[in-house]
């Protein structure tokens, strides 16, 4: 679903970080969402980017996203900081729920930099539920860490700026398994948490990646894709993604990141065995084999039947 929305407010939250408040043009309620959800923001320059929702799911009058100005920006965060202003109309797609927040007896939240955005509504929800939780928030410099006052008002909050108090004490934080751990931040942080939480029970670690995990290249083989709803069959050559081949054939599929991290191209699998290469599905979800992300994933069988 694509929705035109108005930029109501931009707020300087920390060095290089602004929050953007978005409301519907007609003043109606925004679509419901859960902590961990993100939207795809389609900017007036045609570029689209994914941003986690970091306001309150109970406030349906607006959405809030946090945007860090990335010095290597290819037109997304740079545009938001330099050109986006209150009163402008942009479009959003979603919300999408790849980083699902589920009930647990206790939570450990770990955030690095702008990775605090999906974690903030989760911490708020845990506080409302009255479930024990702890948040460790790391950043390069204290002045670049957004939403600190809001977090401090919520409860047990550990602040770790490399220029003041040092790095996140991951060994200590992850020593004893307790409930669920939710982590968002740059790749080195995610890798360190994956290593440090290797002794936690299966299914307790939940990660959200901004970028695909580095992995060794795998050989691509051609695959026949039967699109059940459209009654069409597409031969996907080895040098083209399944998503691209379906788009080229004029089939109704949607893509955004094309890197297996945003979830836009999520597609139901009706037959065949997917070769999952995304960074969204858990091991259990991958083993079920009932959905795939065709921008990166292919097939372990010579044929796939998709709900397209
Ligand atoms: S387009 Fe983003 S996961 Fe496929």
Q: What is the pLDDT of residues 59-116, one digit of tens each?
A: 999 999 999 998 877 778 999 999 999 999 999 998 999 899 999 999 999 999 999 9
Does pLDDT of 165 surpass 80? no
> What confidence tier does 120 reach under pLDDT thresholds 50, 70, 90?
very high
Average model confidence (pLDDT) for the chain? 93
Q: What average pLDDT does range 194-214 have in this prediction?
A: 90
Say which residue, 165 or 88, is predicted with more confidence. 88
What is the model's pLDDT at position 69?
Answer: 93
What is the model's pLDDT at position 155?
Answer: 82
The verdict on the CB of residue 258 being under 6 Å from ligand 1 is yes
- Strand order across the beta sheet in which 133-139 lies: 157-161, 133-139, 107-112, 180-184, 205-208
Q: What average pLDDT does range 140-162 have in this prediction?
A: 89
The per-residue pLDDT for range 266-295, each reduced to its tens digit, is 999 999 999 999 999 988 899 999 999 999
What is the model's pLDDT at position 112?
Answer: 95
- Within 8 A by CB and 6+ apart from 26, the residues are none
CA of 213 to the centre of ligand 1 (A): 14
Asked if residues 36 and 14 have their Cβ atoms less than 8 Å apart, the reply is: no
Q: What average pLDDT does range 7-20 have in this prediction?
A: 96
Does pLDDT of 166 surpass 80? no
Alpha-carbon distances, residue 163 vs 18, 56, 160 (angstroms): 21, 30, 9
| DSSP letter (8 states) at residue 31 | P
How many whole angstroms separate alpha carbon 200 and alpha carbon 180?
9
- Within 8 A by CB and 6+ apart from 160, the residues are 136, 137, 138, 139, 166, 167, 168, 169
Query: How far apart, in Å, do the first and last CA atoms of the chain sit?
Result: 17
CA of 42 to the centre of ligand 1 (A): 15
CA of 127 to the centre of ligand 1 (A): 32
> Ligand 1: which atom is nearest the Cα of residue 280?
3
CA of 171 to the centre of ligand 1 (A): 33
The verdict on the CB of residue 207 being under 6 Å from ligand 1 is no
The verdict on the CB of residue 262 being under 6 Å from ligand 1 is yes
**What is the set of domains in the chain, with CATH numbers?**
2-96 (2.40.30.10), 107-208 (3.40.50.80), 223-306 (3.10.20.30)
What is the model's pLDDT at position 175?
Answer: 94
Asked if residues 111 and 144 have their Cβ atoms less than 8 Å apart, the reply is: no
> Ligand 1: which atom is nearest the Cα of residue 256?
1
What is the model's pLDDT at position 215?
Answer: 80
Cα 69 to chain centroid distance, Å, stands at: 17
In b/e form, how buried is each residue of 2-41, taking b as 16+ CB within 10 angstroms? ebebbbeebeebbebbbbbbbbbeeeeebeebbbbbbbbb
What's the ipTM? 0.99
Does pLDDT of 35 surpass 80? yes
DSSP structure string for 190-232: HHHHHHHTTTSPTT-EEEE-SSPPP--------EEEEETTTTE
What is the model's pLDDT at position 160?
Answer: 86
Using alpha carbons, select from 67, 37, 32, 70 the residue that is nearest to residue 52. 37
């Amino acid at each position: 679903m694509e929705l035109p929305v108005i930029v109501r407010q931009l707020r300087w939250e920390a060095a290089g970080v602004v929050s953007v408040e978005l409301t519907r043009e007609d003043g109606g309620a925004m679509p419901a969402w859960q902590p961990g959800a993100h939207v795809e923001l389609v900017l007036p320059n045609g570029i689209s980017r994914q941003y986690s929702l970091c306001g309150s799911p109970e406030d349906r009058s607006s959405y809030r996203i946090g945007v860090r100005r990335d010095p290597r920006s290819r037109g997304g965060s740079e545009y938001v900081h330099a050109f986006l202003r209150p009163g402008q109309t942009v479009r959003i797609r979603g919300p999408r729920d790849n980083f699902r927040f589920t009930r647990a007896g206790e939570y450990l939240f770990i955030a690095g930099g702008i990775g605090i955005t999906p974690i903030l509504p989760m911490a708020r929800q845990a506080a409302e539920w009255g479930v024990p939780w702890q948040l460790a928030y790391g950043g390069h410099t204290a002045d670049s860490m957004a939403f600190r006052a809001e977090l401090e008002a919520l409860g047990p909050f550990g602040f770790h700026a490399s220029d003041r108090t040092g790095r996140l004490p991951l060994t200590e934080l992850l020593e004893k398994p307790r409930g669920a751990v939710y982590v968002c931040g740059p790749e080195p942080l995610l890798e360190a948490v994956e290593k440090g939480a290797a002794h936690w029970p299966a299914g307790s670690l939940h990660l959200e990646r901004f970028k695909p995990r580095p992995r060794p290249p795998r050989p691509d083989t051609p695959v026949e894709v039967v699109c059940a709803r459209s009654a069409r069959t597409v031969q996907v050559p080895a040098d083209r993604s399944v998503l691209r081949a379906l788009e080229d054939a004029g089939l109704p599929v949607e893509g955004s990141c094309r890197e297996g991290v945003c979830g836009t191209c999520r597609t139901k699998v009706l037959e065949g065995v997917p070769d999952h290469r995304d960074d969204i599905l858990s091991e259990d979800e991958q083993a079920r084999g009932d959905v795939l992300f065709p921008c990166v994933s292919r097939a372990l069988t010579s044929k796939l039947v998709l709900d397209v």
